[in-house]
């Protein structure tokens, strides 16, 4: 199966890796600041109106989801795609050009989004879909370019069968395209009224319909940005790093179709006890519970891939990152369904337990997988050894401690908050005022900030290790190899 003659072209994969590191640091730096703002409100004014929580929160979510995570997804696609399809992108000047254009248009969009969100406050005010119509148009253009690169590479491939990761990348492309187009149907206000801000728009949906479409999108953004492409990564990088074949291809396909079918119906769990019809809320809950099956199917398949080789956990920090990533994936895909049970959601909704759930998934699963994928690629990009496994090991423990501090403090504060909001005295009056809850939660908010800070410091260790691997590490003749049956 080895094809030593193929010279893969990693230019665009490298560029996107640099961006993942950069946007990771910026996005999570802002995350740490807003975490401390919730504990110490004076921090809202350190840069005047530009550092208000209301401006920085969307900057954080957009920078980490569409800056850090998407860069990680594109970096890994431009690496994995060539290798599993056994074709170099340099074999087609057209595809090479498309990939570069994809990169530059993407970069322009993200930088423009930062300026728009922080300085001009151009926002649709829909969570995860804040970008206004002019940026949506740009997003569509580079998303299509990415699609051309995917199907173009598939079209000129040497390897007949499509490895499972490719399925997941294709699903990411198609899923996001559908979600993004439907949820961002909007009309620029200038077109209707002939006046006002040309970069402002109104949604084509109204009221409850708008909420339904938004959370069908919002939940599936979790599916097709934070889950499906990350599974694509782990199916490639874990076997490659460990030299172990994937435990079960059948299970990988079963989970794939399970995820595709079930995820799309679960968005109603964001709207429990809202104005959407009750049967839709129930459907959201039921499908969320069913979602445990394909989610755990993928996660167990990854863990079982390490069967008989657990000793590698001791020596290889990248295996540690990936195994813990699958474990966090299991945790958040059990926690999510629990939160979608109506009676639990009545307690959890609007509380800190939700950001707790979000971050055991995004930090433990998404960020750990992107960090380890990029560190797997670094020695292969530059034909140099990883600069310091010890530093990687320290990063792992520091960031793991950070994640545990983050989600455990949010679990405690969220459940405390929910219980205090609903507590009543013997006359049925609320037992606590809002400020009572804020006072009680203060230590947990501080703890979350400290956890976030640990994770953030770990990012600098990562960036330094990557940089040193690129520039100063010992050169190697051949890239690190394992006798994996799927070696590509
Ligand atoms: C140093 C690491 C991080 C810190 C300190 C941090 C902190 C925060 C804080 C304080 C919030 C606002 C919570 C609230 O409004 O109550 C937030 C929201 C959010 N963050 Fe992070 N974050 C970090 C990393 C990440 C990463 C890596 C991702 C995704 C890849 C992410 C995705 C999100 C999302 C989606 C929300 C919105 C959650 C919701 O609406 O419930 N964060 N983050
Ligand atoms: C079986 C899989 C999952 C289910 C059923 C699920 C379910 C839920 C539920 C019920 C909520 C709270 C809705 C509310 O009351 O506000 C939620 C919020 C959220 N979950 Fe999950 N979850 C799952 C997996 C994940 C994973 C793996 C991630 C990230 C890696 C994630 C990220 C999020 C985000 C970002 C939100 C916050 C949305 C917002 O309000 O802005 N979820 N999820």
Q: CA 258 to CA 453: how far, in whole Å?
A: 37
pLDDT at 401: 98
Q: Is the CB of 373 under 6 A from ligand 1?
A: no
In this predicted structure, what is the pLDDT of residue 482? 58
Q: Three-state SS string across 206-267, please?
A: CHHHHHHHHHHHHHHHHHHHHCHHHHHHHHHHHHHHHCCCCCCHHHHHHHHHHHHHHHCCCH
Residues 6+ positions from 345 with CB-CB distance below 8 Å = 269, 272, 273, 285, 339
Of all ligands present, the nearest one to the C-alpha of 367 is 1
- Crossing angle of the two packed helices 368-382 and 70-85, in degrees rounded to 10: 50
Report pLDDT for 190.
87
User: Tell me, what's the pLDDT at 484?
Assistant: 43
Q: How far is the CA of 227 from the centre of ligand 2 (A)?
A: 11
- Is there an atom of ligand 2 within 6 Å of 219 CB? no
Q: What is the pLDDT of residue 196?
A: 81
Q: Which of the residues in the chain have pLDDT under 70?
A: 1-4, 481-488
Which residue has the CA at smallest separation from atom 43 of ligand 2? 336
CA–CA distance from 140 to each of 110, 277, 288 (Å)? 13, 32, 29
- Report the predicted TM-score, pTM, of the whole model to 2 decimal places: 0.96
**How many Å lie between the centroid of ligand 1 and the Cα of residue 76?**
23
pLDDT of residue 487: 41
- Ligand 1, closest atom to CA 357? 41
Quickly count: other Cβ atoms within 10 Å of residue 416's Cβ.
17
Q: Kindly list the distances between the CA atom of residue 25 and the CA atoms of 395, 400, 456, 457, 460, in Å, as whole numbers in the listed order.
A: 14, 17, 7, 9, 8
> Which residue is closest in CA terms to ligand 2's atom 20?
358
* pLDDT (0 to 100) of residue 135: 97
Atom in ligand 1 nearest the alpha carbon of residue 355: 41
In three-state secondary structure terms, 69 is helix
Q: Is the CB of 339 under 6 A from ligand 2?
A: yes
Pocket test for ligand 1, best of 269, 355, 458, 461 (most atoms within 8 A of CB): 355
* Closest residue CA from atom 9 of ligand 2: 336
> Which residue has the CA at smallest separation from atom 41 of ligand 2?
127
């Amino acid at each position: 199966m080895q094809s030593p003659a193929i010279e893969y072209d990693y230019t665009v994969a490298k560029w996107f890796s640099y961006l993942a590191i950069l946007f990771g640091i910026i996005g999570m730096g802002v995350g740490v600041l807003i975490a401390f703002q919730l504990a110490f409100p004076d921090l809202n004014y350190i840069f005047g109106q530009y550092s208000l929580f209301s401006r920085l929160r969307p900057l954080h979510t957009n920078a980490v989801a569409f800056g850090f995570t998407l860069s990680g997804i594109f970096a890994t696609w431009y690496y994995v795609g060539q290798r599993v399809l056994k074709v170099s992108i340099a074999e087609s000047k057209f595809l090479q050009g498309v990939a570069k254009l994809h990169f530059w248009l993407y970069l322009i969009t993200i930088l423009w989004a930062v300026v728009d969100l922080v300085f001009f406050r151009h926002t649709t005010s829909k969570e995860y879909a804040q970008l206004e119509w002019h940026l949506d148009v740009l997003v569509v253009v580079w998303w299509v370019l990415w699609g051309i690169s995917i199907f173009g590479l598939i079209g000129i491939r040497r390897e007949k069968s499509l490895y499972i990761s490719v399925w997941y990348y294709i699903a990411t492309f198609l899923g996001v395209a559908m979600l993004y187009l439907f949820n961002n149907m909007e009309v620029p206000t200038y077109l209707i009224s002939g006046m006002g801000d040309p970069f402002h728009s109104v949604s084509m949906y109204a009221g409850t319909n708008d909420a339904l479409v938004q959370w069908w999108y919002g939940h599936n953004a979790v599916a097709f940005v934070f889950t499906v492409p990350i599974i694509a990564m782990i199916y490639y990088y874990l076997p490659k790093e460990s030299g172990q074949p994937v435990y079960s291809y059948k299970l990988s396909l079963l989970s794939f179709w399970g995820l595709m079918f079930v995820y799309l119906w679960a968005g109603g769990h964001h709207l429990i006890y809202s104005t959407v019809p009750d049967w839709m809320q129930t459907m959201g809950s039921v499908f969320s519970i069913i979602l445990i099956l394909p989610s755990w199917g993928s996660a167990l398949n990854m863990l079982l891939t390490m069967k008989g080789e657990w000793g590698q956990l001791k020596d290889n920090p990248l295996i540690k990152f990936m195994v813990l990533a699958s474990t966090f994936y299991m945790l958040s895909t059990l926690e999510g369904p629990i939160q979608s049970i109506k009676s639990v959601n009545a307690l959890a909704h609007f509380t800190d337990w939700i950001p707790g759930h979000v971050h055991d998934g995004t930090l433990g699963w998404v960020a750990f997988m992107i960090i380890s994928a990029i560190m797997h690629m670094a020695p292969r990009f530059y034909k140099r050894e990883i600069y310091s496994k010890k530093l990687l090991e320290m990063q792992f423990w520091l960031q793991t401690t950070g994640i545990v501090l983050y989600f455990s403090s949010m679990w405690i504060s969220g459940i405390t908050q929910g219980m205090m909001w609903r507590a009543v005295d013997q006359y049925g009056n609320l037992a606590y005022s809002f400020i009572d809850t804020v006072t009680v939660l203060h230590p947990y908010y501080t703890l979350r900030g400290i956890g976030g800070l640990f994770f953030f410091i770990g990012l600098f260790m990562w960036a330094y290790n990557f940089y040193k691997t690129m520039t100063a590490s010992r050169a190697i003749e051949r890239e690190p190899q394992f006798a994996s049956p799927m070696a590509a």
